[in-house]
Structure 1
Amino acid sequence: MASSLVSSVVLSLFLAFIATVSAQTAPAPAPSGPLNFTGILDKNGQYTYFLRFLADTQVGSQIQNQLNTTSEGFTVFAPTDNAFNNLKPGLVNSLDPQKKVQLIQYHVLPKYYSLNDLQFVSNPVRTQATSQEGAVFGLNFTGQNNQVNVSSGVTETLVNNALYQKKPLAVYQVDKVLLPEEFFGAKSPAAAPSPATKKSSGPKSNSTASSTADEPAAADDSGSSGTFMGLGLVLGLALACMGFLS
């Protein structure tokens, strides 16, 4: 009986020793990898054009490089392939390289916003896009009950689907490409003729009218001259007849 008890104690101690050694030698869980911004879009599909423009303009790599150091985070609005297909043909390709960069940056806010945050922001909200003079391009948001609309002044659409929403990154699907008003706003109407131009036409008409009114006076002078010439001719003939008779 005693030997059985001793054997049980020894076996328990041995098993405890084995468990301790195993816990010490087992590999620690692998740390989670860095947040992959473009991988989120690639995994969800239907963002082929946006991914291409992110790569061509290097905006994607800039966001990726700053994700691990930013304290503010980023909010990205990702237009679907259908959104790009619905644009006027050649619209994006007609932009110069600088404007293409600004267009893609216009879809990025330099701060993390949840959908709830976007309902209560102060408009306009600054984007990553700026002009060469340093003016910031902005977006306007309206919403209620976690349904948010975003407007550029040219484009307005619903912020549909949260592809990723965990600080420091929020990625939302939009079904339209956000077109900056700075590039695609309505052109100003053609300038109307100035008052000075209209005024100058008045005297010109009066001058024509006055010259026309003067024409009859010139005709009367010509008639008077003819009358005097006729009288002189008759008088000359009469004098010549008197001299012949004498």
Structure 2
Amino acid sequence: MKTDLDLKHDVEEELEWEPAVTASDIGVEVNDRVVTLSGHPSSYAAKLAAEHAARRVDGVRAVVVEMQVRLAGHDVRTDEDITNIARSILRWTVGLHEDSVRLQVDRGHVLLTGEVDWTWQSQMAARVIGQLRGVTGVVNHIDVRHTLEPETIGRQIHSAMQRHAEREAAHIRVTVHDGTVRLTGKVHSSAERAVARGAAWSAPGVRAVIDDLIVE
């Protein structure tokens, strides 16, 4: 097992490898395999990229984010500018219905609300807004409509898992309550676990996925 010092070195190297991040802007500390990221990335997109880079490193148990975005002067935008361009971006984004997502901007921090049919639509809205110049944070409170019965959602998820990894589907139990999917059982690899999670997130009406799968 990697030591905390090994993980610190690996995370720092992964930050250097990630083109969206200026590694010198980010501080890394590791305690009991929990990584704490500090510092001042130059954009919200860079902050997210740093967090994702740390999570990719094998052996990391959790990531604590203590970074604060510090915009370069040429990237600073007014809240009105951000609001106008964000509304335009959402209107032109494939898969998002016009007026399904509302936004509020306060000193560069964007609050997203509204209602969509699929989780990926909510995630897409947050992702495209998070890439805009001048944005210093995104809070995603977009709700996913709960339109299907739990049994229907469960059947669709199992069917998807059988198409992707038939052997593992037989060992995975899917329970659904109020749009929250819980996966339990055993799989043979992290890749198979990811397939199961992806299948769960792809079902209509799913608001959250709790992954209690065990990798043998």
TM-score by length of 2: 0.22
Point out the structure with max Rg over C-alpha. Answer: 1
More strand by share: 2
More helix by share: 1
TM-score by length of 1: 0.20
